[in-house]
Amino acid sequence: MTGRSRTTVIRRMWMAAAVAAVVTTGCGKASNKPALPEQTGPAALGVRAITPATELSADVTRVTGQIRSKNEAVLGPQATGTISRMNVRVGDKVKKGQVLAALDASNVAISVEQARAVKQAADAALELATSSLERTRKVAESGGVAAAGLDQAVIGQKQAAAQAAQAAAGLRLAEEMLRDHSIIAPFDGVITARTKNVGDSVAMTPSTPVFSIVDTTGLEVRAQVPESVVDKVRVGSKTQGTVSPSGARFDVQVAVVGAVVDASNRTVEVLADVVGEPSPALRPGALVELDFSTVNQADDDKGLFLPTQAVSARGQEGFVWVVQDGTVRKRDVRVERVLPGYVRILQGLGADERVLADSSLDVKEGTAVRVVQ
């Protein structure tokens, strides 16, 4: 072995010895650490516990709805022509029967005059025929006129009466055509939109939209109520609503409870009339909340209530985990579902007992627990 090789081997042996000494020293220090104390009992599971509520919070029986007008309409002409006059603007309050706009009706006005003249002539002819019939009947009674002459007078009077009726119908038709050249408010309300101006052409078929009108005094709330809550709602029930986001309060009375459950969201449509003097904050389209927590409350609405998550139940039979002396005990109960997310305890639990808030926790009879909130 050469001198260089012998030196390399010695150096490597020295490094290996140094590493072994370090490792040995480190292990000795670790082994001198005191051992961790062993747990002498089962670890207590941190859980959340609740007591039954004696009444439900209003939050669980609030539903969102929308204010809408009982009467709203899009108005258009009943004739084809050119707008010659606009009498209202957006935001104007109008009365039922008020003329909102008028179309050029020059030719129709002439037709009305003609029809009125024809009726006057027909009325005069009828008056003459009636007088002639009366005279002929008197002469016939004394034998001065043959029966045929009397028959002719009767027929003449009937023909004149028919012509007068026809002329009257023609006048009514002409006047109706003239009215069709005016756009008239069908009820009291506020003009919310105007899409045409003087000089614009409009058509009867299809009808050209010109105005939108809304009755702001006759208001109602349309709400989709969960089917589990709707049984508390009856026609005639009164409750309170709150406008979002202003917080203005108002009273409503249930007018309609739908007969069909919407299969997509399990709700029933409820319509409630706004009663009393409407607040300025109540505008069609506004979002509101209706509180059905106090609607038709009776003695059977009282009891003990738990969130459905705290009860493991199928139908009316189920159980809860009761917390007693630091452990949990399984307790059979009878329940009924009253609202979305809540059940009423019918049997098996006291008002002052605490139960696990989540019945699906992996526990068993006697599991040690520690209540944390």
Residues above pLDDT 70, as percent of the chain: 84
* pLDDT at position 296: 52
Give the tens place of pLDDT for each residue, 75-95: 999 999 999 999 999 999 999
Tokens of 314: 């199928």
Partner residues linked to 240 by β-bridges: 251, 291
Domain 49-56+300-371 class in CATH = mainly beta
Give the tens place of pLDDT for each residue, 286-326: 999 988 766 555 544 567 889 899 999 888 899 999 999 99
Q: Is the peptide bond before 206 cis (omega within 30 degrees of 0)?
A: yes
**In which band, very low, low, confident or very high, does the pLDDT at 339 lie, cut at 50, 70 and 90?**
low
Tokens of 207: 């009808």
Topology of domain 106-179 in CATH is Helix Hairpins (1.10.287)
Topology of domain 60-70+218-292 in CATH is Elongation Factor Tu (Ef-tu); domain 3 (2.40.30)
Please give the backbone phi and psi of residue 262, each rounded to the nearest 5 degrees, phi first: -70, 115
Helix (H, G, I), strand (E, B) or coil at 370: strand
Separation between Cα atoms, residue 188 and residue 177, nearest integer Å: 24
Separation between Cα atoms, residue 242 and residue 255, nearest integer Å: 18
**In which band, very low, low, confident or very high, does the pLDDT at 283 lie, cut at 50, 70 and 90?**
confident
Give the tens place of pLDDT for each residue, 346-360: 999 999 999 999 999
Give the tens place of pLDDT for each residue, 8-64: 433 444 343 333 333 333 333 333 333 333 333 457 889 999 999 887 655 556 789
Separation between Cα atoms, residue 229 and residue 326, nearest integer Å: 37
Instruction: Give the chain's mean pLDDT.
Output: 83
Instruction: Map out the domains of the chain as residue ranges.
Output: 49-56+300-371, 60-70+218-292, 72-103+188-214, 106-179
Separation between Cα atoms, residue 63 and residue 86, nearest integer Å: 43
Separation between Cα atoms, residue 231 and residue 260, nearest integer Å: 13
Separation between Cα atoms, residue 23 and residue 204, nearest integer Å: 102
| Strand runs labelled E in 170-218 | 182-184, 189-194, 201-202, 211-214
Please give the backbone phi and psi of residue 84, each rounded to the nearest 5 degrees, phi first: -105, -20
pTM over 0.85: no
Separation between Cα atoms, residue 318 and residue 64, nearest integer Å: 32
Res 107 pLDDT > 80: yes
Topology of domain 72-103+188-214 in CATH is OB fold (Dihydrolipoamide Acetyltransferase, E2P) (2.40.50)
Separation between Cα atoms, residue 108 and residue 129, nearest integer Å: 31
